[in-house]
Amino acid sequence: MRHRIAAAGLEQEILVESAGTGDWHVGHVPDARASAEARARGVEMTGRARQFESGDFARLDLVLAMDAQNAADLRTLAPDAAAAAKVRLLREFDPSARGDASADGDLSVPDPYYGGVDGFTEVFEMVDRACVGLLEHLRAGPLLRS
């Protein structure tokens, strides 16, 4: 998403942060396979993992989760209903996701961690499509019209 925002010249309007719901990767750099996939596409992944905190809701307009379980965990962490309403699934913004969703409406991004390198390619493409859709949504919506 940072790469897409920079390409659109919107770094001053859109802040992107990344955090997990659990603490098991805090302080770690991105997975080497994910970094290699991104780098092959001209995207540099930087930073270290941190855990999402309840106080983050006060600073953020939108909180994106990769899967339904993380979305539920985030909503549980939310201090109130308004904060919980900020939680959305990233793939909600993927224009092609409607065809990918299962009958129960699952818009989860699969975790490629325990699979092969091909899983990182699939996930990168899925996330990138959603980021393109998210950027279009942000450009059209009230968050960038202030």
- Establish how many alpha carbons lie within 13 A of residue 128's alpha carbon, considering only the half-sphere containing its beta carbon: 14
- What pLDDT sits at residue 144? 62
For residue range 21-73, what is the model confidence (pLDDT) as tens digits? 999 899 999 999 999 999 999 999 988 999 999 999 999 999 999 999 999 99
pLDDT digits (tens, 9 = 90+) for 55-64: 999 999 999 9
Give the position of tokens 């793939």. 91
What is the Cα 31 distance to its own chain's centre? 15
Q: Which domain holds residue 55?
A: 2-144
**What tokens were used for 33?**
């396979």
Q: At 5, is the pLDDT very low, low, confident or very high (cuts 50, 70, 90)?
A: very high
Q: pLDDT grade, residue 96 (50/70/90)?
A: confident
CATH (domain of 38): 3.40.50.2300
User: What's the domain count of the chain?
Assistant: 1
Does the structure show a pLDDT above 70 at 85? yes
SS3 content of the chain, % helix, strand, coil (to 5): 45, 5, 50
Q: What is the mean pLDDT of residues 86-112?
A: 81
Q: Which residue has the higher pLDDT, 6 or 101?
A: 6
Query: Which pTM value belongs to this model?
Result: 0.88
